[in-house]
Amino acid sequence: MSTADETAGMGIPKPAIPDPAPAVPAEPIALSEAEKQHEAVVHDTAEAAVRAQLTKALGGRRGIVEAAIPTITFTLMWVITNELKPSLIVSIASSLVLLVARVVQRSTPQFVINSLIGIGIGAFFATRSGEAKDVFLPGIYYNAAYAAGMLLSIVLRWPVVGFLIGSVTGDPTAWHKDPALVRLCSRLTWLLMLPCLLRVVLELPLYLADQVTALGIAKVALGWPLQVAALGAMVWVLARGRTPIRPVG
């Protein structure tokens, strides 16, 4: 008689054979598929969606400081030395120090990289011409192009701020079907365009007059402070209205 039979004869139940491993619950899979099909719209109004996107774009106080430091260091070195090369070296070095700090802290280097690219392009222009004022020329071109592009988008009734809403709803163009949303986005695009236009109007005469120090001061003063003022005006407009977002699909 086998051991198993002896155990059964003694009235001791045989050990139960374990069931196969349970299947993975269906709920997480269903949620994952739902997320792939459509990202949940957490903002019920266009105003809330644009406010959220503007907050991301601003970068906080640290982002504002990081954007201004290369220009400040270049301008200070120019005032002290009146030499292009040392001013560029110190400006680029300051950006690299900020970048290393971001990497060490494992925080996003987006705003430092943007600043570094800007000063790098300016340095390219200036070293080719030998003129310190040309450090600021790409910025003037950049703002002129942005102002022209945003103005064109308003005229064509496809204001660029509308695509901020599109990025939240999951459909980049659905907002254009709603006239109320188009009007709101046009007003916001005007406010976003004005700082770019003002920089060109004020900085171009300084560039043509070879006023390097004044250009540096103007670039800092008309940079993030002016952008924050414009975004503040946009937030004020957004706070006054509640334009509903119609979910896509």
Q: By mean pLDDT, which of 100-104, 157-161, 199-203, 242-246 is the weakest?
A: 242-246
> Which pLDDT band, with edges at 50, 70 and 90, does 246 fall under?
low
Q: How many CB atoms lie within 10 A of CB 246?
A: 13
Number of H helices, E strands in the chain: 11, 0
Q: Is there a domain that residue 87 lies in?
A: yes
Q: Is there a domain that residue 4 lies in?
A: no
- Distance (Å, whole) CA 125 – CA 90: 17
> Do 174 and 36 form a contact (C-beta atoms < 8 A)?
no
Is the pTM higher than 0.85? The answer reads no
The enclosing H or E element of 45 equals none
**Res. 206: pLDDT tops 70:** yes
Instruction: Provide mean pLDDT across the span 143-156.
Output: 95
Q: Is there a domain that residue 91 lies in?
A: yes
* Cβ neighbours of residue 42 closer than 8 Å, sequence gap 6 or more: none
Q: Is there a domain that residue 17 lies in?
A: no
Q: Is there a domain that residue 22 lies in?
A: no
Q: By mean pLDDT, which of 25-39, 67-81, 143-157, 200-214 is the weakest?
A: 25-39
* Tally of domains within the chain: 1
Q: Is there a domain that residue 27 lies in?
A: no
**Res. 46: pLDDT tops 80:** no
Q: Is there a domain that residue 248 lies in?
A: no
> Do 15 and 8 form a contact (C-beta atoms < 8 A)?
no
Q: 91 vs 36, 71, 225, CA distance in Å?
A: 44, 7, 20
Query: For the segment 155-185, what is each residue's pLDDT rounded down to a tens digit?
Result: 999 999 888 777 766 777 888 888 888 888 8
Instruction: Provide mean pLDDT across the span 108-132.
Output: 87
pLDDT at residue 131, rounded to an integer: 92
Q: Is there a domain that residue 30 lies in?
A: no
pLDDT at residue 7, rounded to an integer: 47
Domain that holds residue 199: 44-240
Q: For residue 132, give the nearest of 230, 210, 63 by alpha carbon.
A: 210
Is the pLDDT higher at 176 or at 247? 176
Q: How many CA atoms lie within 13 A of 176 on its CB side?
A: 11
